[in-house]
Chains A and B, each alone.
Chain A
Amino acid sequence: MNEHSNKWIGQRTIRPDGADKVTGRAAFGADTTMPGMIWGKVLRSPHAHARIRSIDTSKAESLPGVKAVVTARDIVNFTTDKPFILGIQDMRWMCRNVMAREKVLFHGHPVAAVAAATEEIAAEACKMISVEYEVLPWVIEIEDAIKPDAPILHEFNKLDGKPSNITGKLEHKLGDIAAGFAQAEVIVERSFKTRPVHQGYIEPHACLVSVASDDKTTIWSSSQGQFMVRAMTALLTGLTQSDIRAIPAEIGGGFGGKTIVYLEPLATMLSKKSGRPVKMVMSREEVMRASGPTSGSSSTVKIGATKDGRIVAAHGIYYLQAGALPGSPIRGAAGCSFAPYDIPNVLSQGFDVVSNRSKVVAYRAPGAPIGAYAVECVMDELAVALKMDPLELRLKNAAKQGTKAAHGPVYPRIGFVETLEAARAHPHYKAPLGKHHGRGVASGFWFNAGGESSAQVNITEDGNVVVMTGHPDIGGSRAAIANIAAELIGIDYKSVSVLIGDTATIGYSNMTGGSRVLFASAMVVTQSAEKVITILRARAAKIWNIDPDAVTWEDGAARPAGDNAGKFAPLTLAEIAAKATETGGPIGAGVQLNTTGAEGGFATHICDVEVDVDLGIVRVLRYTAFQDVGKAVHPSYVEGQMQGGVAQGIGWALNEEYIYNRNGQVDNAGFLDYRMPVCSDLPMLDAVMIEIPNPKHPQGVRGVGEVPLVPVMAAIANAIHDALGIRFYSLPMSPPKVLEALDLPRAAE
């Protein structure tokens, strides 16, 4: 732990990218152009499920203005029998997601792409591509997809020897649940359903790709990882990584949805074939139809406790939609759902189910909100059955340092208990409620992550500092890194410039995701800064002609120490920088690491709702999120993450859902009818940061970005129950559903 004075760490400094963003100078994915640039468009499947018999592109190719057409033939085929893993993705599925190969698997699945002089010509040419389809029966919902006679998406996928749409399984086990439930005096078991929801980033996917005749390729695009863009594009096009330079644009929201590529490989092949730079920008409708939402789910959770409120056994079964290709976040659902609790006997099972929907992609704590929704609603019912306060029940069973979690770890120092105690002591928990008002609580966990990061810290000739890292800044990481660099080097925050390198200018850095960026980049920046300070001390020692060990670095200046203390006037950073050439050359240092020690994040939320009982509308009146944030390096952006997660959860809980029509097509592919919350739907979301430093991190950082979404749906469902006495077991809790439930005759609970 850094025990410095914290002059900058913890300060609400002005974000380095702020001025560009508020004045419109920031360049996002669609903002780059090149001389000679042409436009690419995607032809998408009109069917939910069909075999592609043939594709004839000849008419499109002969349309004046058309420069290139690509189909699956132009994309590298990763055969279905051999897994090829890249991060959490399998290239067998990636190659079939960017371009349909044997079959189209969902309405909107790409089947071809065209590059032409104008967008209009490209769109017209798409209409001239003739595709012969053999239309197949399709399946959308989990219950239908796991029926014995369901249409099978991938004949090669077998379960118990038979073709199946269940494409993956995962199990976490601790103790013996049969023995545990035998001890239980109160058992609550319930089943839940959630709908797929989209990440809802404002900026659609966009890229510009230029492939030169020697294959040297430049990609400008908005993503959560320029190195992911480089690697996936190389694999899907057959180019080598060293030929590709992927330049990260500013990103207009990702939330996990920009952790894979859609357009980049297509634009690369179109550019390679045409010899022209190719720009592609998705429409909102394309984003909604063909980029990943997170899974819909079908879960059953059973929890047993003794009469005094000690939980003795828990069983969770989570079926998650993967979309058209395998890979739903069952690890998040099964791994995180019971993680806040110290339970001796746990079985947590996840099942990955494919159906004819767009492939799911990560969304803020992937899978964890789905699991927590089920578990935290059952916890609420258990508290009622035990006549216990819901926070007391959680406190009684809360995981602590030394608790063994079913998903693997024995926890080090964690701050879950502190979130519960803070919630219980907060005025919100005791505030009076009005008519048709209700209050709910829920907790949540997210793993957080470390992984590969690189940093370079350079001292400019005039004695300022340039820090470069390799992660797109989605949540304010540049501001936090500037705080850390200023703190360590002992200079003014304004003397530090933080940049995000492209794949040619900084070492490999894993994606912005998993709540890992500040955890990991702070480590490599810290070590780089420490190396730079060592160099600065050595340069001062050389100037003074004393031993480097006899030089200390304090407040941005080298000072003689020990026997030499006071013998020389301190040398500032600027003074040493000015003499860099004669003392050994440019001053800078870089560090590349696979970081470890990211510890889990916990949160507890309190939510008040008001229900309009005649219209079935639920409004969130007050919301307070309590979270162990480790160390808030830049509190404004930690609070922003907490508020953002809650806002997304409110949408997921109350109105957001993909609605499919009878033809297997998304019927609400736009922001009018896919109802994300607007500002006026939300009260001020209060964020209470609790700082229990991560002992394995130099600044005590824990990931903060994802856990704020985890408890929200259950907190709202529990609040609605408190208001109405009605439990809802499916999301969204939209007005028609709430009003229908209110109109049903009810027995008193």
Chain B
Amino acid sequence: MTDIRYLAPRTLDEAVGAFAAAAGAARILAGGTDLLVQMKAGTVSPGLIVDIKKIAEMTTIEETADGGFCIGAAVSGAVLGEHPRFGKVWPGVLEAVNLIGSTQVQGRATAGGNLCNGSPAGDSVPAMIAAGAIVTVQGPKGRRQMSVEAVPAGPGRTNFAPGEILVAFTLPPRPKGSGDAYLRMIPRTEMDIAVVGCGVSLTLEKGICTAARVALGAVAPTVLLVEAAAKALVGTKLDAADLDTAAAACSASCRPIDDKRGTIAYRTKVAGVLLKRTAAIAADRAGKV
């Protein structure tokens, strides 16, 4: 039996210092909805837990002057859902974040933890990638920024350097005529994990798609940014044939596994089906803006 040290620093510098000093024996605690479950199952046994919920920067949502958003890594899904503006601008990101777990879990679970957990099936990750979100990380060598799609390295792993902590997500300002959406396939209707997840963000001008980003979850070791699918949408009116091309690009990008949650054939086909459904919702929202 090992003792576990628990720290709840008030500043990011303090958190980074303790986290880096523990050299891999430490875990960051945001909502804890993954960490505590893993500890209870015995799959991780950290010597140090660094709780980041007392750090102001990590728990605030800021709407920037240019219309973008900065969301602290420890902001819970419920708090994000209560923000008066965020869900109006990024409904797809919000619905993805709010799909993590139950109502009770939403009170704790964070998009930051969802990303750092490194699961290819994390619901918020494809939506964040489709949104073009950037993350700020801070480590012993200072701060840097990276795209969300650059964070996952494989199941349970990230590309953060030793001692680096995820600080916040930055979502860009929204051009007029933009919309986003996230859909996942689950065998049940809730309380489940994505067999395939699909995030789409796009911009329409006079009915023509001028920009698009597409991301897929649970079809490869990491969440994928599917540029070929986005390319198939840009410049089109999102007619059935255009969506078919983008769907085929999605299916072609899949590198899934057969496991208890789904088969290779199933995931590959469903990726395309979800692209069409998600893009239709995003386009509908873009049209209404």
Contact = CB atoms under 8 A, between A and B. Distances in A.
B1 A124 contact: yes
A155 B88 CA distance: 68
A655 B185 CA distance: 14
Contacts of B269: 739, 743
B288 interface: no
Interface string A614-630: 11110000000000000
Given A615-B185, A615-B273, A678 B191 contact: yes
Interface stretch (A249-257, A403-411, A665-673): A665-673
A137 interface: no
A673 B195 CA distance: 11
Contact of B260 (A616, A668, A678): A668
A124 B42 CA distance: 12
A31 interface: no
Contacts of A740: 263, 265-266
B165 interface: no
Interface in B1-42: 1, 41
Contacts, number: 54
A616 B266 contact: yes
Contacts of B191: 678
B187 interface: yes
Given A120-B1, A672-B192, A740-B266, A654 B261 contact: no
Contacts of B273: 614-615
Contacts of B190: 678, 680
B266 A735 contact: yes
Interface string A528-559: 00000000000000000000000000000000
Interface string B182-193: 000101111111
Interface in B135-168: none
A655 B263 CA distance: 14
B215 interface: no
A211 to B, nearest CB: 27
Interface string B101-122: 0000000000000000000000
A672 B193 contact: yes
B97 to A, nearest CB: 19
A492 B60 CA distance: 59
Interface string A508-530: 00000000000000000000000
B270 interface: yes
A383 interface: no
Interface in B76-118: none
A120 B265 CA distance: 43
A681 interface: yes
Contact of B263 (A121, A285, A736): A736
A444 to B, nearest CB: 25
A734 B187 contact: yes
Interface string A381-403: 00000000000000000000000
A163 interface: no
A570 interface: no
A661 to B, nearest CB: 8
B265 A680 contact: no
A696 interface: no
Interface string B175-207: 000000000010111111101000000000000
B274 to A, nearest CB: 8
A644 interface: no
23 contacts: A615-B185, A617-B185, A659-B260, A667-B259, A672-B192, A672-B193, A673-B193, A673-B260, A675-B187, A675-B192, A677-B188, A678-B189, A678-B190, A678-B192, A680-B190, A681-B189, A735-B185, A735-B266, A736-B262, A736-B266, A739-B266, A739-B269, A740-B266
Interface of A: 120-121, 124, 285, 614-617, 654-655, 659, 667-668, 672-673, 675, 677-678, 680-681, 734-736, 739-740, 743
Given A285-B41, A617-B185, A655-B188, 16 more contacts: A124-B1, A615-B270, A617-B187, A654-B187, A655-B187, A659-B260, A667-B260, A675-B188, A675-B192, A678-B188, A678-B191, A678-B192, A681-B188, A734-B187, A739-B266, A739-B270
